[in-house]
Every structure is written in structure tokens, then in C-alpha cells.
Amino acid sequence: MTVTARAYPNIALVKYWGKADEDLILPVAGSMSMTLDDYPTTTSVTLADTETFNLNGTEQDGAGSARVHTFLGFIRDLAEKQGLPTATAHARVVSVNEGPTAAGMASSASGFAALAVAAAAAYGLDLDTKDLSRLARRGSGSASRSIIDRFAVWHAGDDESSYAEEIQAPDMAMISVPVATGEKAVSSRKGMVATATTSPFYPEWITSTEQILEEMIDACTAGDFTTIGEIAEVHAMRMHAVIAASRPSIRYLNSASLDVFDRIAQLREEGIETYGTADAGPNVFAITKPGDAAAVAKAFAPFTRDGDAKILFPGRGAHLVDTDQVRAGTGEQP
Ligand code: PMV
């Protein structure tokens, strides 16, 4: 039997950067994000005699497949704990990722969230949303948040208490401004270690992130879009600053990204309320009220390589989809 799940990337408004525990993937501070409604990863898992991983039509070996194999090991451990006969089974994993992989578009988040949901179902695990979030976290920290619908807060804590859960926030849109699609030079994993070990601003980053998360939660609860946007932009800049202060310096934003941030500031002066954020890559996301999304997308069309500034809204957390419909190309659309 084949089980299929779909998950979307999420873009953090309060960023996760740094681990308190490398093995368990526990963050040094909490974070908050919006799950998107496009760029899905759709993943099918079939129990099999040998373990294989196919991504976008190509069989994977090396580092990409090693992370998937390690993750399937966690699934088998859980199956054993739950006394399931599947505890010794291997799996064939087939994944289609519709966003640019490893270019700061959170492909690891949608990837491991979809894999967590599909593999948990294929192995017959009994897990609630909280446990699925904890499980996805082991694949990639930010994947814990892609389990959740719309807006998520991922708590720092121990293995039990570090999971993401939904938070209410006012409706908003994100305009993706893809200025580059290549693989990033330094993975998040390596960049986080370099920052933690060599950036003198790192302790301050941790304490200020905790404070800013509290402010963000208050602003979300109050439905205060202006404060949400201001906090999101300044926190993204702080993340890129603490990273840039590593030795040797690491820089994810390029000159095209900075041009986008400049235009965002200009749009604010022109009276369109929009704020910017960027993950560990050069692509920028503009945050707007839903009613301003079309105007902002239009302003950024000339900045993208293919004129495609995409409007994204809050989307669904990871969920099972009908495998037959996916094969026939009639699967549910966001
Ligand atoms: O989950 P990872 O290891 O891909 O790290 C993601 C880190 C950022 O995207 C830069 C920030 C975040 O909170 O998503």
C-alpha cells in the first residue's frame, strides 16, 4: 500500500537560527511562521525490502538520501516502541518538490513535514499533531512548523516540549520575490554551527529572539499587522547580521536581495504597508495585507528573473492526500 502526503513550506516571521541540541534538533529559542499555500512537496511512502529515495524523478544517493534514511530510522524506532510489525520494514520514498530546492525557500520544511505524515501513516504509527510536529522536527527544525495550518509557534524546550502549534494571526499575504534559484553556498545546518561557534553576537541573538517572540505573539493576538510586519523585518535583519558576523563571514543576501529590501522601504513611503523577510538564501518575501498583495506583486515583477512575483496566502499544514488522485494528476489543489 502506498500512502501520500502533501506539505507546504513556511516562512518564519520570528526566525529559528541555532540549535541547543544537534541530535534532537532543539532550537536555542522559539520561532513563529506562516505556512504557505503553494510550492508543495508531495511525498509517497511504500513499505519495501530495500530503502530508496526518489526526488523529482531522480534516484538519490549521498547526503540527500542519508538524511531521509536517518529519518526513516526514527520512524522505525517509534514503530518498535508501539509494538508494530512494520518496525523492521524499509521504505520506498518518492517525493516531488514544486519549489526550488535548497535556495532558502524552505524546501526541507515541506519535505520533512510531508515525509513525517506519509511515513507515519505507512508504518501505522499512532501520532497526534503535536507528535507529528516533534517527529518532523527531527528531519529539519523548521519542518515542525509545516505540520501546522496557517500560523505556527515552535516552542524551544526538550524533546517532549519542543513542537509547533497553531496561533491566531490576522490574515496576510506574502509575495515571493525569487531573485535566485541555485543551491545556497552554506547549508542552514553548517551556517548555524558557524554562527554559534564564531559570531560574537550570538548570545544576544538568543535573548533578543526570546523577547521578540513574546512581542510577536502579543501582536498576533491583537491582530496588529503593523507591529507584526515591523518585528518580522527587523528580526530577519538581525538574523542576517548575526550570521554575517561569523568568522569567516557568511552572507546569504546578495545585491539583488538588498534592492528588494530598498524597494519595500520605498513602497512604505508611498503608502503601501509592506515589510520584508528572507531565510538563509537570497530570495525575499514581502509581507502585506491581503488587499495590497496585487499592487506589491506588480511592483516586484521587474526584480525577479522570470517576472514572477508570486502571491502566497496562509496554507494548510501537512496532510494525507488520495494517492490515486495524485497519480492521475487530479489531486486536491491548495
Ligand atoms: O530547518 P532548517 O535547518 O532548514 O533551518 C531553517 C532556518 C531558517 O529558514 C533560516 C529560519 C526559519 O526559522 O525557518
pLDDT, residue 14, reads 98
CB 110 less than 6 A from any atom of ligand 1: no
Write out pLDDT tens, residues 215-268: 999 999 999 999 999 999 999 999 999 999 999 999 999 999 999 999 999 999
Between CA 231 and CA 275 the distance in angstroms is 9
Residue 105 CA to ligand 1 centre (angstroms) = 9
CB 6 less than 6 A from any atom of ligand 1: no
Ligand 1 atom nearest the C-alpha of 16 is 13
Write out pLDDT tens, residues 17-58: 999 999 999 999 999 999 999 999 999 999 999 999 999 999
Quick one: how far is CA 232 from the chain centroid?
A: 15
CB 176 less than 6 A from any atom of ligand 1: no
Between CA 210 and CA 53 the distance in angstroms is 37
Tell me the pLDDT of the chain averaged across its residues. 93
Residue 108 CA to ligand 1 centre (angstroms) = 9
Residue range 176-194: average pLDDT? 85
DSSP string, 107-151: HHHHHHHHHHHHHHHHTT----HHHHHHHHHHH-TTHHHHTSSSE
Q: Which long-range contacts (CB under 8 A, 24 or more apart) does 107-110 make?
A: 107/9, 107/39, 107/41, 108/139, 108/140, 108/142, 108/143, 108/188, 109/7, 109/9, 109/10, 109/140, 109/142, 109/143, 109/145, 109/146, 110/7, 110/8, 110/9, 110/39, 110/40, 110/41, 110/143, 110/146
pLDDT, residue 78, reads 98
What's the pLDDT band for 103 if we cut at 50, 70, 90? very low
pLDDT, residue 160, reads 98
Between CA 232 and CA 238 the distance in angstroms is 10
Q: What is the pTM of this model?
A: 0.95
Tell which residue, 47, 48, 36, has the closest CA to residue 7: 36
Write out pLDDT tens, residues 134-179: 999 999 999 999 999 999 999 999 999 999 999 999 999 999 998 8
For 150, other C-beta atoms within 10 Å of its C-beta total 19
